Structure 1
Amino acid sequence: MAPLSRRERADLSDLMDSLGPEAPTLCGTWTTYDLAAHLVLRERSPTAAPGIVLPPLAALADRGMGRLKAEHDYPHLVDLVRSGPPVWSPMRLGEVDRMFNTVEFFVHHEDVRRAQPGWTPRRLEPRDENALWAALRRMGRVLARRSTVGIDLVRTDDEGRVTAKRGEPTLVVEGRAGELVLFAYGRTEVADVVRGGDVRAGEQFDAGRLGL
């Protein structure tokens, strides 16, 4: 079976093809056209891609996405997403692909799925939940670094706990590994999780402080 990163890439590409360029996503005001441009920029533009994760350089990413949309129609951008990184990119290497693309394509696949009417949570295979959990263990503290409350992420489909942010009061969030990933990446309104822990943490929690 192909790695989760590649299956999520293929499934997201199929979904974007079927929905067209104007479908909503959970990425703010972005449409599927914008998301396709973002994904292509991330893999194919070394000079503009840093603007995706570094706020001071965000204008580079915005200009890069605008340029891609001006130069390529939507079907072509989706085809570029589907085909994966160019031959010169380290992301074509299996381990690098798994590290950098597993969560990226899972989250963005759900960004499109869960922005459409009538969506329901997917039930992932255990091996896929494990892959997402491994990523969350690596990234949890980075994703919750700006939180003003402590955050414990507790897996319910298997044993596991990640203290994403130490502190008091502490919010305890329980769910399947994939749902906890979505929560940690700021998709708190659609993540199928249960929140508990200190009542004060729930009152003080700010979802806008999660994510990269």
Structure 2
Amino acid sequence: MSLARRERHALVETMTEAGSAAPTLCGTWTVQDLAAHLVVRERRPDASVGIVFRPMAGYLEAKQAQIAQRPFAELLELVRTGPPWWSPLRPVDKLANLSEMFVHHEDVRRAEPGWEPRQLAERDEDRLWTALRTVARAAYRKSPVPVVLATPRGARITAHRGDGAEVVLTGTPSELLLHAFGRDEVRIAPTGAEADVRAVLAADRSV
């Protein structure tokens, strides 16, 4: 089973345990709202285009709010089963949904106090490192200084080039991927000039 699929099943388990009204790291969204987002993304291409196409954002929000009214158990089953046969996401599920499922799983886990990072298998961390490579430049494009992402094992990605001294963010691939997707509830070690580090951590990291 692919890591994306395993994360999907783990996400549904965590959502079930947390309950529909539990908070997430996705702004004001509850677990119910997050489940509705995932259903829209995979089953309503007419609305999901609003995720990246701003003029359609209003339609996306309306459709997501409508779907969020469905029973919680029904939404979770739709998330668990994944993209239907006709969805363009189905053939590329293990690639297109890896970051989506992992990040949103942690959005539910880390909204609860006392969270701790999971200890992932080395092969899974390697897959997340590959996923990080595809988004790193987009995530840190607004940084005012150069940014390098590094692991304790010595792997490095130049996420943003520019003038001045670089800031290095060190952590496991899983923690660095979460940070690249805009999450601050992570365990990373930044090094560099204090002002530069603050600037990088405060920069918009929307992908």
Matches of 2:54 and 2:161 in 1, distance apart?
25
Q: Which of 149, 157, 161 in structure 2 is aligned with 1:162?
A: 157
TM-score (norm 1): 0.92
Provide the residue aligned with 1:84 in structure 2. Answer: 82
Give how far 1:199 is off: 2.6
Q: Does 1:153 align with 2:152?
A: no
Q: Does 1:207 align with 2:205?
A: no
Instruction: Call closer, same or farther: CA 1:208–1:90 in 2, change over 3 Å.
Output: same
Equivalent pair of 1:152/1:173 in contact (CA under 8 Å): yes
Q: Deviations over 1:11-52 (max 9, x none)?
A: 000111122110000001100000000000100111110212
TM-score (norm 2): 0.94
Matches of 1:99 and 1:198 in 2, distance apart?
36
Percent identity over paired residues? 45
Q: Report how many aligned residue pairs link the two structures.
A: 206
Matches of 2:74 and 2:203 in 1, distance apart?
33
Matches of 2:167 and 2:60 in 1, distance apart?
34
Letter in 2 for 1:9: R
Letter in 1 for 2:85: V
Q: Does 1:113 align with 2:112?
A: no
Instruction: Call closer, same or farther: CA 1:153–1:56 in 2, change over 3 Å.
Output: farther
Q: Does 1:37 align with 2:10?
A: no
Matches of 1:205 and 1:87 in 2, distance apart?
41
Identify the range of structure 1 (84-93 vs 34-43) with the bigger mean alpha-carbon deviation: 84-93
User: What are structure 2's unaligned runs of at least 5 residues?
Assistant: none
Give how far 1:115 is off: 0.4
SS in 2 for 1:47: helix
Equivalent pair of 1:8/1:106 in contact (CA under 8 Å): yes
Q: Does 1:198 align with 2:193?
A: yes
Q: Deviations over 1:94-137 (max 9, x none)?
A: xx112210110000000000001221110100110000000111
Runs of 4+ in 1 over 6 A off after TM superposition: none
User: What are structure 1's unaligned runs of at least 5 residues?
Assistant: none
Q: Deviations over 1:153-192 (max 9, x none)?
A: 0012x3311111112342210000100001111112x111
Q: Report matched runs for 1:1-212 at 5 Å.
A: 2-70=1-69, 72-93=70-91, 96-156=92-152, 158-167=153-162, 168-188=164-184, 190-212=185-207
Letter in 2 for 1:171: V
Matches of 2:56 and 2:145 in 1, distance apart?
28
Matches of 1:207 and 1:48 in 2, distance apart?
31
Give how far 1:65 is off: 0.7
